[in-house]
Amino acid sequence: MDDASTIERDVTVKDVKITARDVQVYYGDNHAIKDVTVDILDKTVTAFIGPSGCGKSTFLRCLNRMNDTIPICRVEGNITLDGEDIYDKRVDPVQLRAKVGMVFQKPNPFPKSIYDNVAYGPRIHGLTRNRAELDAIVEKSLRRAALWDEVKDRLDAPGTGLSGGQQQRLCIARAVATSPEVLLMDEPCSALDPIATAQVEELIDELRARFAVVIVTHSMQQAARVSQRTAFFHLGSLVEYGETGQIFTNPRDPRTESYITGRIG
């Protein structure tokens, strides 16, 4: 076996966190995701890019069963997390979402204190035995979200009183507080100014030391800056998936090339 195939084999065996096989998603009669098969790697940032309406968010939501909450939405195919079928009847979607956390486009802190926003998940999942343990998780999560220094003196203040960028980092702290294994981010910077965007991008890079991160983004510059792997979607299909540098410098499919050079989208 040559070196290249050894490397490829190492990646597929050791580092795959999520597998998707022949995934179809329908909203009523609208076939929104067609035959998507992909392996998402652990400790890697994967970017989903593609023109508006191509299905990026829909596919992202399949990975923690958020589509279950949309009555007309139907998901077919197979998706596993660490080899376990996440659509198995025995899987509790609420538990799954603690393992596969999500951060949305618009920062959406609960109308609670900064502390309670972060403590919410550990409380409902019973992750701590006493206040000291909860305090420790809140501090660790806020540190991981690069927000601790800015809020440590006002943990009782409302989360909604923070700036947009701080609110988004609070939502990231809330998501990491349940010790997820995967973090899904749906255009997490689209409501942020350039400084807050840069902070969140830096944070994403740090988060990948611990988690698999999947980010939907409209910004190709952002995908190039933060991700190691990129998936290009078009009209509900996964057209091309590979190492980010290769996708942006040497795309194999003409549709990918048209998108990254600005001819479609």
Ligand X SMILES: Nc1ncnc2c1ncn2[C@@H]1O[C@H](COP(=O)(O)OP(=O)(O)OP(=O)(O)O)[C@@H](O)[C@H]1O
Binding interface with ligand X (CB under 6 A): 27, 30, 32, 50, 52-58, 70
What the block records as the tokens of 110 is: 């609960």
For residue 65, give every residue at least 6 positions away whose Cβ sits within 8 Å of its Cβ, in sequence order, or none: 86, 87, 93, 96, 97
Integer Cα distance of 238 and 252 in angstroms: 13
Closest CB 106 distance from ligand X, rounded Å:
12
CB of 105 to ligand X, least distance (A): 8
Q: Cβ contacts of residue 264 below 8 Å, gap of 6+?
A: 51, 234, 255, 258
- For residue 193 the two structure tokens come to 């100014």
Closest separation in Å from C-beta 23 to ligand X: 13
Q: Nearer to ligand X by C-beta: 48 or 248?
A: 48
For residue 15, give the H/E element and its range.
none
Minimal distance in Å, beta carbon 218 to ligand X?
A: 6
Residue 90 CB, nearest approach to ligand X (Å): 27
Of how many residues is the chain composed? 265
Output 27 or 148, the one with its CB closest to ligand X.
27
Q: What are the Cα distances from residue 138, in Å, to 33, 100, 170, 251? A: 37, 19, 11, 43
Q: Which residues pair with 140 in a beta bridge?
A: none
48 vs 115, beta carbon nearer ligand X: 48
Phi, psi of 257 (to 5 degrees): -60, -45
Our CB check for ligand X shows the closer of 173 and 231 to be 231
Least distance CB 68 / ligand X (angstroms)? 12
* Closer CB to ligand X, 57 or 178, in the complex: 57
User: Residue 76's beta-bridge partner residues?
Assistant: 24
Judged by beta carbon, residue 57 or residue 197, the one nearer ligand X is 57
